Amino acid sequence: MQEIRRIATTVLAAALLAIGAGMATAPPAQAAIRSGWYTYKLYGRDDTVVLTYAAHVVGNKMYATADETWYDIHPTSRGGWILALDTTRRDFWRKGNGYEGIAYVVHIPRDPTVTSRITLTPR
């Protein structure tokens, strides 16, 4: 009985180790924003363009020429998001050959008065 218990424990430990190793090496499913030059546009409530500027994505960083700042891109399964100026979250998801999304103030509930549509279109 002791021998069977020892074998079962060894087999279980080996199986758990194999599962853990597989999870550690498998990358998460991500659709990071592709590197390149983009045109960033922010739209008003009536869908008119309020702001437009060039943006450069390199790896998981985006350079916003209007802010003269590099922002960290946090990849998601559909695209990614950035936190701009520590107050505005900008969520992007894949749409056509570019990205679309929303920008909103972090500590205010998403309301049409503080949420804007945004796009990143390849140049």
Computed over every residue of the chain, the mean pLDDT equals 81
What percent of the chain has pLDDT above 70?
72
36-122: CATH number: 2.40.128.80
What percent of the residues of the chain are helix, what percent strand, and what percent coil, each to the nearest 5? 20, 45, 35
Given this model, what pLDDT does residue 105 score? 86
For residue 96, the SS3 value is coil
| Tens-digit pLDDT profile for residues 68-94 | 999 999 999 999 999 998 889 999 999
Predicted model pTM:
0.71
Q: Select the more confidently predicted residue: 19 or 57.
A: 57
